[in-house]
Structure 1
Amino acid sequence: MRESEGVRRHRTDPDEVFQEMLQAARELLAVRTPLDAELMVSDMIGAWWGKRVKGGDVEQVLGEGLVDYAAKAGTPASLTLLICLAYLGTARQGAKAEGAALAMMESGVARPGWADRVGAVKPTGCFVSRDAYGDQDTVICTFGYRWTDPAAGGVTPDARNQDRHALVLVVDYNMSGMARDAWVSSQVDKLLEQARAEAAGNPMLLFEEIEPQQARALLDSAMRATREPKTPPPVSDSYSAFHAFARSRLKALPPGRKRPAPLYVEAPYSRERRAMLAAEFLASDAAEHLSDPSAASRCADHIIDYGCEHDFSRPMRISPTKCETFLLDWLPRKVMLSTAEQEAMPHVLSAWVRFAAGRTGLPEPGLRETLDAVWEATGKFPTAYRDPTSFGLDRPLLERLLPDGDLSALARRVFAFPFLQGVHGGVDLDGLDPADEGDRRTLLRIDHVGEIDEEHLAWHEEIAGRLWDGDPPQLWEAAQRLLDLGHDRHDVLHVLIEIVERIGGDPEELAAALDDIADIPDEF
């Protein structure tokens, strides 16, 4: 069902969207099973998943708005849609839809015979297919509908095996453990047989059954991770269509167990343990050919920190994708490397791959593929990693701006503190540290000499401190949008101050207000 494509275009009148969706809902009266209906409605409301609308949360503006619109329509199609939304919607949507549907049924509005079975499912098995790299889990949860058999004395799983189906979600650990793909298959036996066959005799794959409680914990965590990014997450084209269906099916799995740990997870690494691991690596046979021990040591620290902080405390996990992401994406964005470290890093990473493979028992084919990937990435690394000194910034200045080595902070910190060099009013700016509270105030006084009172200076300190820390990320994102429109830096800062001062300490409300800023209001 793709009648809801019009919803995917940005429309200004929600009633136009709702009218189109109710017209599409007429198809629900023609389907023969609750599974077909649930998938159709999941696809329909998936049209707005991950989108943003003016006036509030999209699930409230469009989701709850659709419930209200359908309740007013009072037709068999709108009742059928409400029955599905009572199961597939958010908690608020579901409660509203259920109440509206009950009222319509009491008034005599007709509904399909299968409507009572919407969402009446029972899990029949849960499985996970894992690659030996630990890159991703493919989780398969199978379900069967319940049905009422008077002879059996009540509601039972469908013994006739009708409408048995499998929900499949892919959890990507190179993307913060988010669910990045989802689909549904009615060929359950064929799907499971194929998964077992692919894993049989393949050292790079593992297929096993897991408890339903474990599957729920794993997938709840993965779907939360997919919701967290403020920008549209990198999911498959089909994910939005199955999101509501998957969210609702997970509620049929019993809660109460911890998620199965990703491969190679160990206890959290303290600073001391990280240092010990780096020392073990540097003393190993894998690292004996590294010619610059000092640079190799600092590179090893970055590799270990990346695995601990961005890969579920797994510094020993290696894979082609993880190594490429580390070398060509994370390092160029996040870490300021010296010239010696830039030259050493690809070689240290190759040595680390050999060291880690020996410790984790990665099969030989996986080791070869990972080393090949590092070799290919090595040729691209000099282009991917742009030394910030090549932009005309000298290293002492960079070290003042980036004492934490976080390259991603450079632009926002330069924006916050434009005067960092030279002499002004007898003050040697080169000797001031923008990370120090006293020096920071001096720098801001020079930036606003003769035009600012103490209270307003305090607010500039607040904004500068937030920009320095990147707290919240939406602050710098909003500033960039306004700068891209050609607005003056000081005007942008004053808009940010007004928002932070007005919102106060609620971080979620502040993030939402900053997200909504598209231009500077006329009064500024």
Structure 2
Amino acid sequence: MLVAARELLAVRSPLDAELMVSDMLGAWWGRRLRRGDVEEFLGEGLVDYAAKAGTPAALTLLVAVAYLGTARQAAKAEGAALALMESDVARPRWAERVGAVKPQGCYVSRDAYGDQDTVVCTFAYRGVPRTAPAAVEAAAEGAQEPKGDAGPQGPAEDPHALVVIVDYNMRGMARDAWVSSQVDTLLEKAGIEAAGNPMLRFEELEPQQARALLEFAMKATAETLGRRRSTNVVSDSYSAYHAFARARIKALPPGRKRPAPLFSEAPYSRDRRAMLAAEFLASDAAEHLSDPSAASRCADHIIDYGCDQDFNRPLRVSPTKCETFLLDWLPRKVLLDPAEQDAMPHVLLSWVRFAAPRTGLPDEGLRATLDAVYEAMGRFTEAYRDPTTFGLDRSLVRRLLPDGDLSALPRRAFAFPFLDGTRGEVDLSSLRPAEDADRRVLLEIDHAAERDRPDFAEHLAWHEEIATRLWNGDPEQMWEAAQRLLDLGHDRHDVLHVLMEIAERIGDHPDELAAALDDIADIPDEPPPAP
């Protein structure tokens, strides 16, 4: 990194320097380390190494990290940079202007679907500070101070725009970011494109709102990466601009509530959701649906998805949203009976016709959304895999999924593998693992061979703790850790005991428990034996 930092000495503008260092810091952004924080291990380690090097290149890097790094990195880098400056280590002229920017304006380009916002925030560097004698001399000669951004700081320089794409089909996360120095051209093109396209809106955004929106989006990105354990949900270039974007967002004034996505409404209560479903089923758009009962249940799923996964926007429809719902969310999350599987694509088509006029979606958008659903109908039958087709009895599946959460089936079946047949006088098919009393009976049967243990009651209580956590998916890292141990060849009983040991050792510290389970989930495969 310090070798690469030498190039900073040849840079002539703080903007270029900040972008270079942001790219450096992005080299490990989103990566994971076993038993450690990557930002602490690599980022702070780089700061420590640069501080010891004490070269002009090291000082230049420290100055940039003091602005672009995490809070801990910035504090360490600032202290180290000041120490090197006191030792008269040389630094470039632009070093004093790193981060000395002023917001110029904020804008947002929104598509008519409400799928995404493209947020544009423009900045400029404050000019080189004037010396007092020069200001006094100008006043003595009767010269006026320049207006606007000029003045004691001089004219603003190096205008540039930070552009961030906020994707509402991915829970409002920041999916892409880049920087442009062609600010006027960028804004002009965005305005012209929106003026000639009914599917786009381009408008100014208050800087406070822009900050709130982007802070929310970047937090959503971090949370999504934590769940998916992969950076493939963002663009390839996002990591290079992440540190720069984080720093520029802090330059915007705080103090406003995040602007709601297009078509957002107040939270829907259960009664309000039921009323919306009834209105849909009574509409002309739904009159051709042949199975009213299945259509009603499908409508409930569509409305719940819009309320719970799309910022209270059940009436918002778009090609991307409909495809995500039909081909990704339903196959992962919802248990549908055969009638619902047959009806769902047709109900979704009717819902699009019902909802689009209520949000004012242009005809062009309505046609594109209907086409997308038609194209997805054939793929839905392949994407949705009914668990009963794998030999599972539907009544058993219903007992494991009383909430219909299809994604919970593997971990719940792992926690409670004995749900059929009889054990002694107990009819296992009559027990419901969602109920505490039945859950305890199932665990006692599962561990009948260990009844003679002197600590059997305590041991069973810990098994119940782990089983309950697996049932609820709390934390989600527990099932990921269990799967990794199974992949490594451990049997089910050993896996449960590993999870118990971790939970007992850490106690009631959710973050520490999640981190410890993460370490297990990240265990690599054993290297192949040497020939």
* Superposition TM-score, scaled by structure 2 size: 0.92
Partner of residue 253, structure 1 = 252
Q: 1:205 to 1:519 in 2, by over 3 A?
A: closer
Which residue identity lines up with residue 83 of structure 1 in the other structure?
V
2:508 partner SS: coil
Give the alignment of 1:20-35 within 5 angstroms. Answer: 21-35=1-15
Partner of residue 464, structure 2 = 461
Partner of residue 202, structure 1 = 197
Q: CA deviation at 1:232?
A: 2.1
> In 2, are the aligned partners of 1:400 and 1:433 still within 8 Å (CA)?
yes
Give the Cα separation in 1 of the matches to 2:267 and 2:515.
Answer: 33
Q: Can you give the 5+ residue segments of structure 2 that lack an aligned partner in the other structure?
A: 137-144, 525-531
Q: CA deviation at 1:519?
A: 5.4
Q: Deviations over 1:292-330 (max 9, x none)?
A: 110000000000000000001110110000000000111
Q: CA deviation at 1:265?
A: 0.2
> In 2, are the aligned partners of 1:483 and 1:489 still within 8 Å (CA)?
yes
Which residue identity lines up with residue 210 of structure 2 in the other structure?
A
Partner of residue 391, structure 1 = 390
Deviant stretches of 4+, over 6 Å: none
Give the Cα separation in 2 of the matches to 1:162 and 1:436.
Answer: 66
Q: Which deviates more, 85-94 or 142-151?
A: 142-151
Partner of residue 507, structure 2 = 504
Give the Cα separation in 2 of the matches to 1:519 and 1:77.
Answer: 37
Give the Cα separation in 1 of the matches to 2:59 and 2:154.
Answer: 29
> In 2, are the aligned partners of 1:409 and 1:468 still within 8 Å (CA)?
yes
Give the Cα separation in 1 of the matches to 2:289 and 2:32.
Answer: 50
Give the Cα separation in 1 of the matches to 2:105 and 2:48.
Answer: 37
Give the Cα separation in 1 of the matches to 2:238 and 2:510.
Answer: 29
1:450 partner SS: helix
Which residue identity lines up with residue 489 of structure 1 in the other structure?
R
Q: Deviations over 1:85-123 (max 9, x none)?
A: 000001111111111111110111010011000000000
Which residue identity lines up with residue 352 of structure 1 in the other structure?
W
Q: Can you give the 5+ residue segments of structure 1 that lack an aligned partner in the other structure?
A: 1-20
Are 2:287 and 1:288 aligned?
yes
Q: Deviations over 1:363-407 (max 9, x none)?
A: 000000000000000111111111111010111111101100111
Are 2:178 and 1:183 aligned?
yes
Partner of residue 361, structure 1 = 360
For residue 484 of structure 2, the aligned residue among 472, 481, 484 is: 481
For residue 218 of structure 1, the aligned residue among 192, 207, 213 is: 213
> In 2, are the aligned partners of 1:55 and 1:61 still within 8 Å (CA)?
no
Q: Deviations over 1:475-499 (max 9, x none)?
A: 0000001111111100000000001
For residue 492 of structure 1, the aligned residue among 491, 495, 500 is: 495
Give the alignment of 1:74-473 within 5 angstroms. Answer: 74-147=54-127, 148-150=129-131, 151=134, 156=150, 160=155, 162-229=157-224, 230=226, 231-233=229-231, 234-452=233-451, 453-473=456-476
Q: CA deviation at 1:159?
A: 6.0
> In 1, are the aligned partners of 2:35 and 2:519 still within 8 Å (CA)?
no
Q: CA deviation at 1:334?
A: 0.7
Q: Which deviates more, 153-162 or 346-355?
A: 153-162
Give the Cα separation in 2 of the matches to 1:159 and 1:388.
Answer: 69
Give the Cα separation in 2 of the matches to 1:493 and 1:450.
Answer: 16
Q: 1:516 to 1:74 in 2, by over 3 A?
A: same
Q: CA deviation at 1:55?
A: 3.6
Which residue identity lines up with residue 32 of structure 1 in the other structure?
R
Partner of residue 16, structure 2 = 36
Q: 1:152 to 1:250 in 2, by over 3 A?
A: farther
Which residue identity lines up with residue 13 of structure 2 in the other structure?
T
Give the Cα separation in 2 of the matches to 1:103 and 1:156.
Answer: 32
Give the Cα separation in 2 of the matches to 1:363 and 1:259.
Answer: 26
Give the Cα separation in 2 of the matches to 1:55 and 1:489.
Answer: 25
* Superposition TM-score, scaled by structure 1 size: 0.94
Q: CA deviation at 1:202?
A: 1.1
2:448 partner SS: coil
Q: Deviations over 1:103-145 (max 9, x none)?
A: 1101110100110000000000100000000000000000000
Give the Cα separation in 2 of the matches to 1:406 and 1:183.
Answer: 38
> In 1, are the aligned partners of 2:353 and 2:366 still within 8 Å (CA)?
yes
Give the Cα separation in 2 of the matches to 1:315 and 1:196.
Answer: 29
Which residue identity lines up with residue 9 of structure 2 in the other structure?
L
Give the Cα separation in 2 of the matches to 1:224 and 1:352.
Answer: 32
Q: Which deviates more, 195-204 or 262-271?
A: 195-204
2:26 partner SS: helix
Q: CA deviation at 1:251?
A: 0.8
1:313 partner SS: coil
Q: CA deviation at 1:54?
A: 3.2
2:157 partner SS: coil
Partner of residue 140, structure 2 = none
Q: CA deviation at 1:507?
A: 1.1
1:165 partner SS: strand
> In 2, are the aligned partners of 1:149 and 1:156 still within 8 Å (CA)?
no
Give the Cα separation in 1 of the matches to 2:376 and 2:183.
Answer: 40
Q: CA RMSD, aligned part only?
A: 1.7
Give the Cα separation in 2 of the matches to 1:354 and 1:109.
Answer: 68
> In 1, are the aligned partners of 2:126 and 2:155 still within 8 Å (CA)?
no
2:251 partner SS: coil
Aligned pairs, number: 502
Give the Cα separation in 1 of the matches to 2:154 and 2:74.
Answer: 29
> In 2, are the aligned partners of 1:139 and 1:170 still within 8 Å (CA)?
yes
Give the Cα separation in 1 of the matches to 2:93 and 2:403.
Answer: 64
Give the Cα separation in 1 of the matches to 2:505 and 2:150.
Answer: 56
Partner of residue 4, structure 1 = none
> In 2, are the aligned partners of 1:281 and 1:287 still within 8 Å (CA)?
yes
Give the Cα separation in 1 of the matches to 2:156 and 2:78.
Answer: 28
Q: Deviations over 1:212-262 (max 9, x none)?
A: 001000000000000113212400000000000000001110000011110
Which residue identity lines up with residue 383 of structure 1 in the other structure?
E
